[in-house]
Amino acid sequence: MIDARLQPLQHAVLRPPAVLLAARGVTADTLSVMGFAIGLLAIPALAFGWWSAALALIAANRIMDGLDGAVARIHGPTDRGAFLDIALDFVFYALVPVGFALHDPTENGLPAAVLIAAFVGTGSSFLAFAAIAAKRGDQATGFRTKGIYYLGGLTEGFETIMLFLAMCLFPASFPTLAWIFAAACGVTTILRWHQGWTAFH
């Protein structure tokens, strides 16, 4: 919901470390893969209930996700980088609820499944819109630095990160947080369906 407004601040904060990494020959693709690998470590941490470790790993994954874009803007963005970034992000988002489900299948299993289904709704509507928009040559005015057409919504990257961090801080509240966010994702999906239906009429 507020990703576009946070972009200038994100770019300003991440540019200095991105310049250092780019000067040492670190590529955006390398950062994307490393960030994903770090994020994967959060899943067993969640499963074992190591909440502080999981929080740190999720935060590190998201920082790396921002850094890969910052480095890409220095070296020059590529189609492969844009593909890699979004593909790995969506898998990571889906795996975090799996970690909570593994920790407590009885309490967390159903809310995790519903949240993953809600992520499928937001992700598929996002990518479907981006694919048609690219075919038409459209560009998102609020996200010109993104590698693909970035369609906003009620639940975007920032809200998802805050959700995951809140779940790590208050793991007993996972079912409640999952149900609430799944509902918000449902609203986002419906709004994106409507926007696609209208824009591509």
Q: Which of 169, 176, 198, 195 is nearest to 56 (CA)?
A: 169
> pLDDT per residue over 162-190, tens digit each?
999 999 999 999 999 999 999 999 999 99
Tally of domains within the chain: 1
> pLDDT per residue over 74-88, tens digit each?
988 888 988 999 999
DSSP track, 106-118: HHHHHHHHHHHHH
Alpha helices, DSSP H, located in the chain: 3-23, 28-47, 51-75, 79-103, 105-136, 157-169, 174-199
Query: The tokens 């970035």 sit on which residue?
Result: 150
pTM of the model: 0.88
b/e map of 130-152 (b: 16 or more CB within 10 Å)? beebeeeeeebeebeebbbbbbb
pLDDT at 39 over 60: yes
Rounded to whole angstroms, the Cα distance separating 152 from 156 reads 7
CATH code for position 62? 1.20.120.1760
**In sequence order, which residues have a C-beta less than 8 Å from that of residue 56 and are 6 or more positions away?**
none
Answer whether 42's CB lies under 8 Å from 91's CB.
no
Read off the pLDDT of each residue in 96-104 and give the average, rounded to a whole number.
98
Question: What domain range is 27 assigned to?
Answer: 3-199
Length of the chain: 201
